[in-house]
Structure 1
Amino acid sequence: MGGRLFDGYSRGLSAHLVCHCLLIETNDGLVLIDTGYGSQDITRPRERLSDFFLALNRPQLLTEETAVAQIRRLGFAPADVRHIVVTHLDFDHAGGIEDFPNARIHVTAREKEVADQRRGGVFVSRKRYRPQQWDEAANWSLYPFGGGERWFGFDAVRDLEGLPPEILLIPLAGHTWGHAGIAVQEDDGRWLFYAGDAYFHHGEINGEHRTCPPGLRGYQRLMQVDADARMANQRRVHTLSTDHADAVRIFCAHDLVEFQALAGAP
């Protein structure tokens, strides 16, 4: 609920967000960046998701919009997804992990640690992380948080296990303790930078002055674990967008305008 006070453009009482995922075709199979909600979230939402977030976010749980259904629609099989790279393990980013039992899951070690212990903020700690979404996953690759090589001024975890060198993990703490963005170098040398939940609205990184609807600003504060780190990283992403617009295209997890632009929607 909230309309344009939440997303900045909706005319009715409801606002609209997305769960943005990215599918990458490599020489060694498919790589899925975040998973959105999974098929089990659709069939058993009360078991897999918290009542609080079901009521607050009112997710439209549609089978045809799950990552596994969309991948099948593209002509691939779930087994073709060899790797899943997750920005963090919140319920709306990791729900589809078990739809791809053969995939290796890549995440920062810090994120896996706090998710297993359900330390995700005082109020939301036992609601944001839903271990039942990934407790059957056996293949994990965990990476140190920070101190890596540099990528446009950011720490970068390179050489992810089994992945091509064009896919990097970029630590962006604040939304969660182990939150990270994903950088993907395209064939033309330019980069796609999926910033996850480092920001929620395109106005926060585009233009000279950062803007965000008040409802969405409040939601980000509700979900943050470290306000200073989140805002510092958001400012860095904004600077990246202004100083390197010709080399990097940035998008986040939940902004409908960015999603439509990248998906070629009207």
Structure 2
Amino acid sequence: MKVHHLNTGTMCPMGRRLVNGTGGLFQRARMVCHCLLVETSDGLVLVDTGIGLGDIAAPGRLGRRWLRRTAPKLDRSETAVQQVRALGYSPTDVRHVLLTHLDRDHAGGVPDFPHAAIHVHRAEYEMAVLRKPAPPEGRYVTEQWQHGPSWKFYGEGGEDWFGFKGVRALGDREADILMIPLAGHTLGHCGIAVRSGDKWLLHAGDSYFFHGQLEASVRMPLVLGHFQRRVDMDRNARIANQTRLRALKLNHGDRVTIFNSHDPVDYENCRCGAH
């Protein structure tokens, strides 16, 4: 399977040194919305969607505070649907969308693929869509799924993958694309593993925010660390899963490439070694 690494939303908050760990305090930082477009025998599979056309047309729905803090570019050409077209495909070629979770900068492009099946952990759907339990105020942008997507749910059960439990293959058919529960950032947060040749890519979503978090000796930038803690739904679970990811990299880094959603270093490293 061929895998394309896409940035589907650039964000430029102030304080580069405190966000990216390099540069000046008064420089704009750079964060990305790292998504995958996977070519399979069953059509295209999109992993996360980033910011969508609807968000750009009506940015107010993303929330004033979020817009002020993240300073997104809101560039139509960065949206997943426009990048799919730029690669020579039609949006209808995207048969499946797998979401790490339903935060606004991950699910914004869902309405741009109305014919695709939307795969998500059931706990995430219950909180974000059914509001059972009710999510933190302003956490989700419900307009991103008001069109009524075709949801596909995942929960417990499935295969073991490098010691991670609760793994399910896409549609119970595609063994090369797996959803791996990694709760913490949200209650239904997942990683998405994709086989690339004889190795694996693991899109870890927001399980961690800074590439150095997978290296025990590297310190987290101050503002980024504060933001990560503030948006935790289950901090203990997030920390435990970060520890597991660190062990996965240490023990199987030759077979598994791990990256997160927003770190530009992870994104550029993946693009340079594009699969």
Is 1:34 the counterpart of 2:48? The answer is yes
Matching residue of 1:133? 144
Distance 1:44 1:259 in 2: 27
Distance 2:190 2:46 in 1: 15
Deviation by residue 1:115-164 (Cα, 9 ceiling, x = unmatched): 12457997xx23221111012133110111x4432111111422322752
Give matches, 1:182-201, under 5 Å. 182-187=192-197, 189-201=198-210
TM-score where L is the length of structure 2: 0.89
Distance 1:120 1:151 in 2: 29
Identity %: 48
- What SS class does the counterpart of residue 159 from structure 1 fall into? strand
Distance 2:201 2:72 in 1: 27
Evaluate the alpha carbon distance shift between residue 117 and residue 140 of structure 1 in structure 2; reply closer, same or farther with a 3 A threshold: closer
1:69 is aligned, of 59, 63, 82, to 82
TM-score where L is the length of structure 1: 0.92
Evaluate the alpha carbon distance shift between residue 177 and residue 213 of structure 1 in structure 2; reply closer, same or farther with a 3 A threshold: same
Is 1:103 the counterpart of 2:112? The answer is no
Runs of 4+ in 1 over 3 A off after TM superposition: 117-122
- The residue type paired with residue 138 of structure 1 is P
- The residue type paired with residue 133 of structure 1 is Q
Is 1:165 the counterpart of 2:179? The answer is no
For the 8 Å contact 2:157–2:168, the answer to whether it is kept is no
Matching residue of 2:254? 246
Is 1:93 the counterpart of 2:103? The answer is no
Distance 1:264 1:248 in 2: 16
- What SS class does the counterpart of residue 105 from structure 1 fall into? strand
Evaluate the alpha carbon distance shift between residue 165 and residue 34 of structure 1 in structure 2; reply closer, same or farther with a 3 A threshold: same
For the 8 Å contact 1:52–1:127, the answer to whether it is kept is no
For the 8 Å contact 1:31–1:82, the answer to whether it is kept is yes
Further displaced range: 193-202 or 128-137: 128-137
Matching residue of 1:236? 244
Is 1:258 the counterpart of 2:269? The answer is no
For the 8 Å contact 1:120–1:129, the answer to whether it is kept is no
For the 8 Å contact 1:89–1:115, the answer to whether it is kept is yes
Matching residue of 2:219? 211
For the 8 Å contact 1:252–1:258, the answer to whether it is kept is yes
Report how many aligned residue pairs link the two structures: 259
Deviation by residue 1:186-240 (Cα, 9 ceiling, x = unmatched): 12x200000000000000013x424311111000011101111110101110111
Distance 1:156 1:14 in 2: 39
Distance 1:151 1:219 in 2: 30
Is 1:223 the counterpart of 2:234? The answer is no
Deviation by residue 1:44-63 (Cα, 9 ceiling, x = unmatched): 111x3111111111111000
Evaluate the alpha carbon distance shift between residue 93 and residue 2 of structure 1 in structure 2; reply closer, same or farther with a 3 A threshold: same
Is 1:82 the counterpart of 2:95? The answer is yes
Distance 1:101 1:226 in 2: 31
**Displacement of 1:7:** 1.4
Evaluate the alpha carbon distance shift between residue 29 and residue 263 of structure 1 in structure 2; reply closer, same or farther with a 3 A threshold: same
1:143 is aligned, of 137, 154, 160, to 154
Distance 2:255 2:74 in 1: 36
Q: If each structure's strand is expressed as a fraction of its own residues, which one has the higher value? A: 2
Further displaced range: 58-67 or 111-120: 111-120
- The residue type paired with residue 47 of structure 2 is I
Q: Which runs of 5+ in 1 are unaligned?
A: none
- What SS class does the counterpart of residue 56 from structure 1 fall into? helix
